Amino acid sequence: MEKIGVFICTSCDIGNRLDIAELENAAREQGAAAVYSKEFLCSKEGRAFIEEKIQQDGLDAVSICACSSRVNYDVFNFENVAVDRTSLREGVVWSRFPVGEEGNILEDTAEYVEGVSFKDELMALAKDYIRMSVAKLQSYKMPEPFKPEEEISKTILVIGGGVAGLTAAIEAANAGYEVVLVEKEKELGGFVAKMKAHCEVNHPYKNIVPPVVGELISQVENNEKIKVYKGATVASISGMPGLFNVKINVGGKEEEVKIGSVVLAAGFKPYDASKLTDLGYGNIKNVVTNVQFEQMAKEGKLIRPSDGAPIKSVLFIQCAGQRDENHLPYCSGYCCLASLKQAKYIREADPEAKAFIIYDHMRT
């Protein structure tokens, strides 16, 4: 920066413990174009004073030698002017005191080292801080705003057409944005579309209700701001925020679209239960996953896979492979409510049927 102004606050003990005239000279010797001192620079009058001098002297950078940059950052903010903060208050006069042998605070005239008073040491520190601030501003260049060669895209890409993706697309469209939604399956809805029911999300939280995903799908497919690709995948994403180049594979062809931002809502994949050999999955026909059980319930086939007989007793095993160093280190956060819901399927289908749930931790 070419024209640097230094503004030294004399309040908050700065003027009492430091020689302001010496500090002003140090700033000028370092190359400051203008140097001023005034009490309460953070006040309304103080800020107005700084703004006046910026205009009067044509300053393009200022060093505010006052309080810490952790405070009053909104006060010392001037349009098109570089600002550096020099902490004379917290960094010098509020943190350094001469201390006697008994822990008592001495006067600044007390000897710091032989032939040097504590006041001299304070001044040396304060002047160094001011010199460093001016030197920093002398080598500083104002950043130039990024000007893209092409217009920034505000279109939002949503990857995944389940509940999360559908909701994201609807909310973005309602906010006025164009949306591109990509779903790898031939139909929207994700895993929830394959469910018989889900637990209600409102009080009293006791009942199971039909999936609401159908309404979300309808809203998405009838919204002019949302373009849906079904049976499609994202081949690649390149570029930068606001200027993403996205290639979409759909129907054996590749389409390229300009995207501003991306929402990843790709859903989840059930853990491979065949790895849980101690539970008999894959070897015992009547051992199924909760995903398979949900499909059985939706199809109205709550029967034993082994012989087609009605289910009279079911054991749900929770936390299978979860928080286990040999499988998954985390809890899915899904299975507890799913098992409670599926236990109700059994009881509703046959009030005499039994449902047992074995769990390590129950999260509801």
Task: For the chain, list the domains and their CATH numbers.
Answer: 4-138 (3.40.50), 156-264 (3.50.50.60), 273-358 (no CATH)
183 and 229 Cβ atoms separated by less than 8 Å:
yes
> Consecutive 10-residue runs of the chain (364 residues): their mean pLDDT?
94 95 97 96 96 96 96 93 96 91 87 86 95 96 81 95 96 97 95 88 82 92 97 95 95 94 92 90 93 93 94 94 90 89 93 93 79
The string of DSSP codes covering 327-353 is: S-SS--S-HHHHHHHHHHHHHHH-TT-
Residue 269: C-alpha distances to residues 99, 230, 232, 287 (Å): 66, 19, 18, 19
Residue with tokens 């909760």: 290
Rounded Cα gap, residues 333 and 355, in angstroms: 21
Q: Is the dihedral of CA 30, 34, 35, 39 positive or negative?
A: negative
pLDDT (0 to 100) of residue 256: 96
The rounded radius of gyration (Å) of the Cα atoms in the chain is 35
**Tens digit of each residue's pLDDT (9 = 90 or more) over 236-290:** 999 999 999 999 999 889 999 999 999 999 988 889 999 998 999 989 999 999 9
pTM over 0.85: no
Rounded Cα gap, residues 261 and 242, in angstroms: 6
- Residue 148: cis peptide before it, omega within 30 degrees of 0: no
**Cα angle 257, 155, 234; round to 5:** 45
Q: Are strands 232-240 and 34-38 parallel, antiparallel or unpaired?
A: unpaired
22 and 123 Cβ atoms separated by less than 8 Å:
yes
pLDDT (0 to 100) of residue 267: 85
pLDDT (0 to 100) of residue 363: 80
Q: Show Cβ contacts of residue 42 under 8 Å, excluding neighbours closer than 6 positions.
A: 9, 66, 67, 72, 75, 76
The string of DSSP codes covering 273-306 is: GGG-GGGTTTTSTT---HHHHHHHHHTT--B-TT
